[in-house]
Structure 1
């Protein structure tokens, strides 16, 4: 029993004190190997985690480079979904929001990142970007003093030796409306000394020089970036933008083409080529637009662009389809100009009714400040086509004339309005538009002046007609028309002839018209007749009156009225002579 008891105690001890027994059983070296294995696995997990973060961050930066902001935000969101995410994830997400002009979203993101960094002891020295991001936000919001203080605090932690921080701080100044560009240049020069193979640094220098309006140095900086990375399409693209601002077509076009040769997927350069060829070569524009759509993020904006291009290409039904796709998707948020595009497209296809409906929608939804002369012209044209209402159409054309700044375009509207008023029998309204034609035209002709005066005469504004034809007589003294219509106007003003207002104008008319009595026969007959009547009836100078009627008969011997008047005058003269005798 004793033996059994000893054995049971031994087995019991072995069972209830297994850990001490095992610890004693395994050697110290075995335990060290187990601990090292655990440490290795833990370290491997850290390396894998950092590698995954780096890969995801590189993916995010790639999306930003190509301006794929939705994809970049998704990549940032994935980074933030990791366990204990690095503050850089918040930095990049905030920077994306700043690129999208969404400072409120950027502010909320940076605050979250700062809170996380402070709670988890991420320092300004080791992890400066989230702090620089906050300073960038302050810069964008206009608080350059606070931004500068924050940036100096961050950079001083690394004694201005961290090239990543230096570059980010410089970027904050370049992008900020009140950034210190000279300081930014100093920061970039420091960064370049410490990271000589980073093409992002000379790219930032190029952007800085562009802000300083120093295109030459900007070009040099972008070339330096290309020497470090020949596939950097962005550098060619930004060089192209500089030459485009100078209207140097041959150079900027070649640079945009170099950009897509370096990287066929670089959408900003594809867009510029599409834009360049939009009005010049529809086929090429379509080629680059298709490539742009393929290499940019899906967007309803693509349908806007396709609608515009199809309209220019006169593929009106395709233009209508794309415009309707946008309106169906965006509804009230659709740009009003789409309704105008629809109106022009329907008009081109012969459907003026739908065109007028769409233009009414356009005017209902668009701001008056964005409406142009041709919008009102189209409404005038469609109103005539559908409603056949010249008065209403004329109101639209008048607004077109008021808005237009192009002289040729204004003249087109003025002539149309004047002709319509003439057709409507409203000669004084016609005269108003004829006056506008005369005063607007760079070099008005005698016909413009004549039409203006004649409309006034027809509208029975004889005094103003006389003043207009006085201008005509002064400008064209060798022509008969000024004197003729001054004579006619004054004859109607002085209908009893008592004031003799028309007399000097008829006398001048005879003087000028006599140079070609055959051509101007009717004018001379009229003048002789008027002056003959005036002399007989007002001045009672029968001799002078007979002289005029005899001149009339010399041109027109068979004129019965003149013969009768001449005969009467001769009798009066004979009677007067007998009385005097």
Structure 2
């Protein structure tokens, strides 16, 4: 008798362990951990049709359609595995055949046979090509029969999301799943996604927090948070959450690529390159990886590596999938190479122009401001200031009402390129368009002073006086700017033999910098009129 009891207990224990393992496999599938689900379910699949069914789903999610078909075929008379076969048919685009399989399952369902309705509904909900309204009707039938569990309500919510206006009903279903007290973490994750899509970010963050609290092993809220922070441009926060997601997930190739991409967006360029090289070393052949290496190498100023990987990317990528950033980065790389390989500088510069113009042609948007800025910044990084100015000039030409900063950079890069005619035009435009912006007044003076470097014609006198008279509440004078203006004015009046005005500005210089060589020489000269003029001629260290 005792032996029989022991056998019964052992059998019951084995059954419970087996059932628990199948549940673990289902949970892993729900959390996107398909490789882990396979490892858990494979030992059970030979004796358990439900374990086999979930194993087939894991294979499908890993895009192993042929393997999934073979798995489901092991239990041809089991309705779960028949529903799995329907999933394969949907994946293969054979929706009519799939629908027939599901209808056959439903036709055989008895009065309280809710599992068949659930399996058929899931097959439609988690593949493409089926009728979402059929899935919704079958989930409701399950609820009618047994009151519904959390898994059923989650499936119902997912089915509603396949309808164009099903968001509200989906939310109701997920909230009902939470009330059921099981699968709360998954339900909260889905509620968070709905709030996020509705731009209710505080509510989304709250739901993701509830998902993490309900089951700390659930990686999904961390991935959602990483995506949310990435879209908000908060890349450090995105990286923190994707690292936590990586810790909890199966670290699929796609997940690792997402991680590498966030390393790049977080400006951790060496780390991004190292991660990508690791993936390539493992045999991962994704064209996107070469793009990311090229972009990261450019940002670390390894322009040759950037160019080599960009060429590899173009050789492998479908031309229809090339994006605007590819042309922009290629243009930036070529522009940078013109400064590295000076022998072939013109060739690289021409190539940069070619790629930048290519992206301009491909961009159909009316407002190309951000695109032009990106191109201009590429030329700025390569110290091709003339071209950087040209692109900022195009922003102003296309949109005269653009921001003051765009006018400024148009003029500033022209100034650095010593194109003083364009610089004067840009800063005159800045002053006219934004009369309350002090930098326009200052830089009109700076340009005029650069043209009159010897301070002989006085071309910068009035512009600098205009700037100095400008309402100081609107512009906080920096000492370097004041010194530049004061020294020009002092030098001009000194050259004009106007001691009174020269000394006015000499004294202003000395208030800022008592040891200024130029100012002290002029002061000494006027104190001893017979001495020669200062040898520096105004070219002191403080004057530019």
Structure 1 CA distance for aligned equivalents of residues 135 and 170 of structure 2: 14
Equivalent position of 1:326 in the other structure: 279
Structure 1 CA distance for aligned equivalents of residues 101 and 202 of structure 2: 45
Structure 1 CA distance for aligned equivalents of residues 395 and 246 of structure 2: 51
Structure 2 CA distance for aligned equivalents of residues 379 and 146 of structure 1: 52
Unaligned stretches of 5+ in structure 2? 408-544
Structure 2 CA distance for aligned equivalents of residues 48 and 410 of structure 1: 65
Q: Matches of residues 200-215 of structure 1 in structure 2 within 5 Å? A: 200-213=151-164, 214-215=166-167
Structure 2 CA distance for aligned equivalents of residues 341 and 132 of structure 1: 40
Equivalent position of 2:213 in the other structure: 261
* 2:189 counterpart (237, 260, 282): 237
Question: Are 2:73 and 2:81, in contact at CA under 8 Å, matched by a contact in 1?
Answer: no
Shift of 1:292: 0.7
Distance 1:111 1:300, change over 3 A: closer
Structure 2 CA distance for aligned equivalents of residues 440 and 356 of structure 1: 32
- Quick check: which one's helix share is greater? 1
Shift of 1:289: 2.0
Shift of 1:217: 0.9
Shift of 1:416: 10
Question: Are 1:398 and 1:417, in contact at CA under 8 Å, matched by a contact in 2?
Answer: no
Question: Are 2:124 and 2:130, in contact at CA under 8 Å, matched by a contact in 1?
Answer: yes
Q: Matches of residues 448-459 of structure 1 in structure 2 within 5 Å? A: none
Equivalent position of 1:399 in the other structure: 355
Structure 2 CA distance for aligned equivalents of residues 105 and 159 of structure 1: 31
Structure 1 CA distance for aligned equivalents of residues 146 and 29 of structure 2: 22
Q: Matches of residues 266-345 of structure 1 in structure 2 within 5 Å? A: 266-278=218-230, 280-301=233-254, 303-330=256-283, 333-345=284-296
Structure 2 CA distance for aligned equivalents of residues 362 and 133 of structure 1: 38
Shift of 1:307: 3.2
Q: Matches of residues 398-547 of structure 1 in structure 2 within 5 Å? A: 398-404=354-360, 405=363, 407-408=368-369, 411=372, 441-443=398-400
Structure 2 CA distance for aligned equivalents of residues 71 and 250 of structure 1: 33
Equivalent position of 1:154 in the other structure: 105
Structure 2 CA distance for aligned equivalents of residues 57 and 440 of structure 1: 66
Equivalent position of 2:339 in the other structure: 385
Equivalent position of 2:40 in the other structure: 75
Equivalent position of 2:458 in the other structure: none
Work out whether 1:368 is the aligned partner of 2:325.
no
Distance 1:158 1:351, change over 3 A: closer
Question: Are 2:56 and 2:67, in contact at CA under 8 Å, matched by a contact in 1?
Answer: yes
Question: Are 2:150 and 2:182, in contact at CA under 8 Å, matched by a contact in 1?
Answer: no
Question: Are 1:411 and 1:441, in contact at CA under 8 Å, matched by a contact in 2?
Answer: no
**SS state of the match for residue 266, structure 1?**
coil
Normalising by structure 2, what TM-score? 0.62
Work out whether 1:251 is the aligned partner of 2:208.
no
Distance 1:263 1:367, change over 3 A: same
Question: Are 2:35 and 2:58, in contact at CA under 8 Å, matched by a contact in 1?
Answer: no
Equivalent position of 1:198 in the other structure: 149
Equivalent position of 1:111 in the other structure: 73
Work out whether 1:130 is the aligned partner of 2:81.
yes
Distance 1:326 1:408, change over 3 A: same
Distance 1:74 1:221, change over 3 A: same
Distance 1:338 1:161, change over 3 A: same
Question: Are 1:169 and 1:184, in contact at CA under 8 Å, matched by a contact in 2?
Answer: yes
Distance 1:358 1:173, change over 3 A: closer
Question: Are 1:203 and 1:221, in contact at CA under 8 Å, matched by a contact in 2?
Answer: yes
Unaligned stretches of 5+ in structure 1? 1-35, 118-126, 424-429, 449-581
Question: Are 2:328 and 2:355, in contact at CA under 8 Å, matched by a contact in 1?
Answer: no
Equivalent position of 1:226 in the other structure: 178
My pick for the range that moved more, 227-236 or 301-310, is 301-310
Larger Rg: 1
Question: Are 1:303 and 1:325, in contact at CA under 8 Å, matched by a contact in 2?
Answer: no
Question: Are 1:398 and 1:413, in contact at CA under 8 Å, matched by a contact in 2?
Answer: no
Structure 1 CA distance for aligned equivalents of residues 43 and 303 of structure 2: 53
Shift of 1:230: 6.3
**SS state of the match for residue 74, structure 2?**
helix
* 1:59 counterpart (8, 24, 31): 24
Shift of 1:257: 2.8
Structure 1 CA distance for aligned equivalents of residues 338 and 10 of structure 2: 77
Structure 2 CA distance for aligned equivalents of residues 205 and 222 of structure 1: 8
Distance 1:340 1:147, change over 3 A: closer
- Residue correspondences, number: 386
Equivalent position of 1:543 in the other structure: none
Distance 1:44 1:415, change over 3 A: closer
Normalising by structure 1, what TM-score? 0.58
Distance 1:444 1:296, change over 3 A: closer
Structure 2 CA distance for aligned equivalents of residues 147 and 337 of structure 1: 34
Distance 1:283 1:376, change over 3 A: closer
Structure 1 CA distance for aligned equivalents of residues 331 and 395 of structure 2: 21
Distance 1:57 1:394, change over 3 A: same
Aligned Cα root-mean-square deviation (Å)? 3.8
Equivalent position of 1:91 in the other structure: 53
Distance 1:418 1:316, change over 3 A: closer
Shift of 1:169: 1.2
Question: Are 2:53 and 2:72, in contact at CA under 8 Å, matched by a contact in 1?
Answer: yes
Equivalent position of 1:426 in the other structure: none
Structure 2 CA distance for aligned equivalents of residues 228 and 442 of structure 1: 57
CA deviation map 1:508-529 (0-9, x unaligned): xxxxxxxxxxxxxxxxxxxxxx
Shift of 1:97: 2.3
Distance 1:224 1:343, change over 3 A: same
Shift of 1:237: 1.7
